[in-house]
Amino acid sequence: MLVLVAPGQGAQTPGFLTDWLALPDAADRVAAWSDAIGLDLAHFGTKADADEIRDTSVAQPLLVAAGLLSAAALGDIPAPGAVAGHSVGEITAAVFAGVLDDTAALSLVRRRGLAMAEAAAVTETGMSALLGGDPEVSVAHLEKLGLTPANVNGAGQIVAAGTMAQLAALSEDKPEGVRKVVPLKVAGAFHTRHMTPAVDKLAEAAKALTPADPKVTYVSNKDGRAVASGTEVLDRLVGQVANPVRWDLCMETFKELGVTAIIEVCPGGTLTGLAKRALPGVQTLALKTPDNLDAARELVAEHTQA
């Protein structure tokens, strides 16, 4: 069984959309999306520097657009057995599942990015990845420092979030067994109480949408559970901005569903890396450039039923 996944914020790099825009119809599609949300996605995906695309209000719609564009480039393929996304990637996955269309998803993520950027501006906050260590020991240590385990990613990785002062203290006082603390390229303490002001704004934006029920299994970050109602998917997308991402539980669900292969859409690499460690024996492929498309199509054919 194939699972199609979409990465979250921090996966973006300068110019990562350049090669994708050279594909037939890609530039026109991105131009239409840009007009719809009032953001020049092509510029930010090709010419903007790392600081510009670190901006939450830019990074989030850019990542969703890249995921949708790369998935569309696969062409007419059989549906995956399940879909999921990490953090903002959940909105990309909602399109894959048929819950939202492209325009609705990009409009929602534009509002999400703006609301979260505004919430992040209230206090100087950030996120850092903990590599290695025992999760229970790490979580207890984070709580002692006043930090939140905002992403529990599995494969020995937890992402801590909080104020920059708290993160500095973490760098000086790592949990036992943690090899390294790596600051992430994000502009706030996402999936924590610091994002609470964004929830109401996102809920207001969601009122204008009419979600459909998922056509394939949609696995939620909230608890790793498969969600069958489009309304519930949308409700979870709204609430998730201020609650931890449980990617570890998503991967447990993939395993229970019988996953045999995972494809991560552009800019892929992070989630397939986690899967290689947490789901041994499962084939993985990250869509980084269009050069990966042929191999992805072969993997789809091998692990799905037409």
Residues involved in catalysis: 87, 191
Find residue 84's DSSP bridge partners: 5
Q: Which two tokens stand for residue 143?
A: 């709580």
Q: Are 271 and 7 in contact (CB under 8 A)?
A: yes
Query: Residue ranges of the alpha helices (H) in the chain?
Result: 18-21, 26-37, 41-46, 50-54, 56-72, 89-96, 102-120, 135-144, 164-172, 196-206, 230-239, 247-257, 270-278, 293-303
Collapsed DSSP state (helix, strand, coil) of residue 44: helix
Q: Are 98 and 56 in contact (CB under 8 A)?
A: no
Tell me the one-letter amino acid at 254: F
How far apart CA 116 and CA 232 sit, in angstroms, is: 21
The helix (H) or strand (E) run that includes residue 121 is none
How far apart CA 1 and CA 255 sit, in angstroms, is: 10
